[in-house]
Copies of this chain bind each other. A is one copy, B any other.
Amino acid sequence: MQSGRLSDFAYSSIKEQLTRGAYKPGHKLPIRSVAEMLNVGATPAREAINRLVFEGALVMVGPKTVIVPHLDLTALYEVTQMRLALEGLATERGTLRATNDVVDKLLALQEKITLSLDERRYSDALHDNKEFHFTIYRLCEMPRLLSTIEALWLRVGASFHDLYPEFAEAKYGVHNHLAAIEGLVDRDPSAVRAAMENDIRDGYRRLKKAAQERLKRQ
């Protein structure tokens, strides 16, 4: 179940819950409740929560209240800009180190994604979509860059997770992913970057639209 530090276990657990959309925006995360739920003491729970606040995955709305962040279009925009810059960098660097094995893996992933979308298994599609992106980003072998990008994904993932299903419906991304794969085959950094940027921007627009509609309904 858990190995080593309880703080890390608590951190991973909450993070996992967040990326699975287990908590609705606004949901409170008091230390003692988290501690009880995970069967750990207050100290590891506290540490995990604070770390997630530092990373921006959770927000403090009062001196003693940490919640799952509400939809925040400003944050979404800002994170998108940072994603374009950093994932663009990772993509260009990665393309130069691409191998045929990676291309095959991406093709397989893309087939899985398409299948998942057809069968409306959005959660699976989103999971493999993330794997698709990070398979490319991992190529550049820049661990610090990678962890920064991961933090950005978590940031929007937390508050926008429940929008992803309606976001995935549109099947945006398929075309961009295929373009990215073609660019990788050609070892053409700027082509792959353009495809990935397009993917990020499409996602941003779709997510923003869904968020605006939801905000209007309430």
Contact = CB atoms under 8 A, between A and B. Distances in A.
Interface stretch (A73-81, A124-132, A205-213): A73-81
Query: Which of A88, A93, A145 has the most C-beta atoms of chain B within 10 angstroms of its own C-beta?
Result: A145
A51 interface: yes
A60 to B, nearest CB: 11
B144 A56 contact: yes
Given A54-B54, A86-B86, A148-B148, A81 B142 contact: yes
B51 A145 contact: no
The oligomer's copy count stands at 2
Contacts of A82: 86, 89, 144-145, 148
Contact count band on A: 20 to 34
Interface in A51-71: 51, 54, 56
A85 interface: yes
Nearest to A55: B54
A81 to B, nearest CB: 6
Interface string A122-164: 0000000000000000000011110010000001000000000
9 contacts: A47-B47, A47-B50, A75-B144, A78-B142, A78-B145, A79-B144, A82-B145, A82-B148, A144-B155
